[in-house]
């Protein structure tokens, strides 16, 4: 299977909260120790952590959980996916001591970039990208 083959979900969260022709807003709630299956990002997006949480992500084709997020309240990540192809599928797990919820805001208009660009983020947490930086 390649990263672009089904059955990777294009849903980056577990609950769709809002959608119009320009944005789609998801929430992802992970209880302590919970993980979600592989999914794939097709749109530039913002990830917002309103509460603290620690998670790890694993990209398809790697053996390690190399994506690390240590969020404090107000941690924000941004990723330009580009319009050439979706990101490599990945999954996420909660490695914190409590459950947490974060929000994913997809920007549905075509990306201004052809290719994916590295993650950017604010100073309210730590982030280590995986191999699909």
Q: What is the pLDDT of residues 44-96, one digit of tens each?
A: 999 999 999 999 999 999 999 999 999 999 999 999 999 999 999 999 999 99
In a domain, residue 5? The reply is: no
Phi-psi region of 125 (alpha: psi -120 to 50; beta: other; left: phi over 0): left
* Chain segment 85-127, per-residue pLDDT in tens: 999 999 999 999 999 999 999 999 999 999 999 999 999 999 9
Q: 122: domain CATH number?
A: 2.60.120.10
Does residue 109 belong to any structural domain of this protein? yes
8-46 pLDDT, tens per residue?
Answer: 888 999 999 999 999 999 999 999 999 999 999 999 999
Number of H helices and E strands in the chain, helices first, is 0, 11
- The dihedral of CA 116, 39, 128, 64: what is its sign? negative
Q: Is the pLDDT of residue 1 over 60?
A: no
Express the helix, strand and coil content of the chain in percent, nearest 5 each. Answer: 0, 45, 55
Report pTM.
Answer: 0.90
Residue whose C-alpha is closest to residue 70's, from 122, 10, 31? 122
CB count, 10 Å around CB of 45? Answer: 21
Confirm whether 73 is domain-assigned: yes
Sign of the alpha-carbon dihedral angle for 97, 100, 127, 11? positive
Q: Which residue has the tokens 């530039």?
A: 44
Domain extent, residue 108, equals 15-128
pLDDT at 35: 94
Q: Report the number of distinct structural domains present in the chain.
A: 1
């Amino acid at each position: 299977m390649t990263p672009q083959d089904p059955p990777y979900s294009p849903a980056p969260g577990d609950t769709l909260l809002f959608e119009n022709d320009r944005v789609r807003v998801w929430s992802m709630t992970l209880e302590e120790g919970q993980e979600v299956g592989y999914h794939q990002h097709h749109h530039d997006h913002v990830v917002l952590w309103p509460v603290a949480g620690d998670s790890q992500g694993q990209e398809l084709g790697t053996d390690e959980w190399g994506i690390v997020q240590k969020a404090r309240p107000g941690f924000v990540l941004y990723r330009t996916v580009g319009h050439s192809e979706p990101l490599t599928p990945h999954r996420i797990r909660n490695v914190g001591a409590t459950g947490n919820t974060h929000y994913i805001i997809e920007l549905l208009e075509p990306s201004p970039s052809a290719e994916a660009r590295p993650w950017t983020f604010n100073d309210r947490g730590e982030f280590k990208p995986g191999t699909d930086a």
